Structure 1
């Protein structure tokens, strides 16, 4: 049975990083990247733990194994990950004055558990567990990641803005 909760232990954070490694473009084929989606950011334990200490990451656990995660990234980490810095600049352009959002820093479901509603349930749990005063989840999706764009749209994310950063088209999306 799959359970959803906030990450609490170092072992859970290590399992997040292991699942992340299995889904980075450098570790999957181009075909798999196209069909199954891919991750953009490679975290290290220090930043993952610091983010978790502020707002626990949401994990899906099956038989004591993390099989999915949604990383909670409080806006105070806006400068912590270089590739995500432009996202926070764009967020500040479209939600001027509104600071009660949580950025979802990355979402991933293990290949063995895809198509079982875990993606949706990670977001539902994240919304439930947002700190008091937070009412919106914002993230961005690489325009080439069609599977992720479709999945976000299917659970109610709306597009705030599409923008270019470097050579990538990003879709800034929100769930309220």
Structure 2
């Protein structure tokens, strides 16, 4: 088979399309740069206050900030794969770092060593309550009114685990 010659106009279209793809990847790189800046700011922010700061700055939703930081944390993968959009980049990151399957929340009967004394009661949590408490702990944003109760709960849990 002999190679067919492509007219100049089509070469120009191809050239412009290549530039578009290069610019798209540059946008992903820039987003990762912003993500690194957010990571640095988060390190300088008091624990549990970062989400508030993102909201106060009113730049974007916290979810966007989390996505930008994910791009920054996976820069090697992005440089290797050269995704053409943030969406594609985030998909690559999810595929490269699959989350472990979530275990269902279940509270089993206490062990003999963790049986509460007569002054304590065992709280049974349903899935929704468990997720809400877990979310609160993961964001390090415990309402001030509950701080003492959370500390007491943590002390009880630590004693039970010993």
Asked if Structure 1 and Structure 2 have the same fold, meaning a TM-score greater than 0.5 normalized by the shorter chain, the answer is no
Greater helix share, 1 or 2? 2
Greater strand share, 1 or 2? 1
- The TM-score with structure 2 as length reference comes to 0.30
